[in-house]
Amino acid sequence: MTSVDFSGLRIRHLQVEQSSFIDCDFSRAHLANGNLGLASPPSTYLRCRFDGADLRGVRPGAARFEGCRFDGARLDGWLCFVTEFIDCHFAGPLREMVVSGRPFPPARTEDLGRSRNAVYGNDFRAAELMGVEFVRGIDVDAQLMPEDDAYVRVPQAPARIGAARREIEQWPDPSARALAESMLSFYSIRGYDEQETIFTRRDLPGTVPAQVRERIWAMLSTEVRPGG
């Protein structure tokens, strides 16, 4: 489909399979249920607009979005385990999303015919990332990320987490040690273990008191030298 106007439509169920949308407008559309990329080969969306669309009810699936705009789109709960984003623009609040650099579960690799999801050139600077997780090998440096103090960027993440673990073992307060370890564990599982660079909100995880969180973020800001 090319240059089709879906803007403002309320669509009760949309199932997309092996389809292409070029220069289509989904602005302010409400997609209540379905899947935007049901099966392989992936469905593609090229230069499509989703501004202000409510997409909470649909799964992104094996879709490839290239040069698309999601300004003000509601993507709450999107699990982008096999989804690709290239040169897309995001603005407004993004809640509880997971963007994966590798297909998950791994069994999808053979089905998709690829071992990595293409996720690069995306602009999140105008977005508010609220519980958004970039995991399983996302190249954070290949995206434009928000730069304000609400977020932290941790390069050398595996090495820095290892060094922080060794340091907190010396903390005299067992309660603080346990909280710090729970925070480091949070960023060592769930696909974060495959991240060379972690980008997340400073106030996460919310189960760890702010005083302990800030102490850990300060530790993770320290470069780990070879052999250190």
Q: How many whole angstroms separate alpha carbon 71 and alpha carbon 20?
A: 21
pLDDT of residue 222: 82
Q: Is the dihedral of CA 42, 106, 85, 131 positive or negative?
A: positive
Per-residue pLDDT, 6 = 97
Q: What's the distance, CA 219 to chain centroid?
A: 24
Q: For the chain, give the percent of residues with pLDDT over 70.
A: 98
> What is the predicted pLDDT for the residue at 111?
84
pLDDT tier for residue 225 given thresholds of 50, 70 and 90: low
pLDDT over 80 at 47, yes or no: yes
Domain 1-147: give its CATH code.
2.160.20
Q: Which two tokens stand for residue 197?
A: 């660079």
pLDDT, mean over the chain: 94
Domain boundaries, the chain: 1-147, 149-228
Task: Work out the average pLDDT over 160-178.
Answer: 93
Share of the chain above pLDDT 90, in %: 87
C-alpha distance from residue 29 to each of 6, 44, 50, 73 (Å): 7, 18, 8, 9
At 121, list the tokens. Answer: 């050139």
The reported pLDDT for the residue numbered 226 is 63
By CB neighbour count within 10 A (0-12 exposed, 13-18 middle, 19+ buried), where does 13 fall?
exposed
Single pTM value for the model:
0.93
* Helix axes of 174-186 and 210-220: crossing angle, nearest 10 degrees: 60
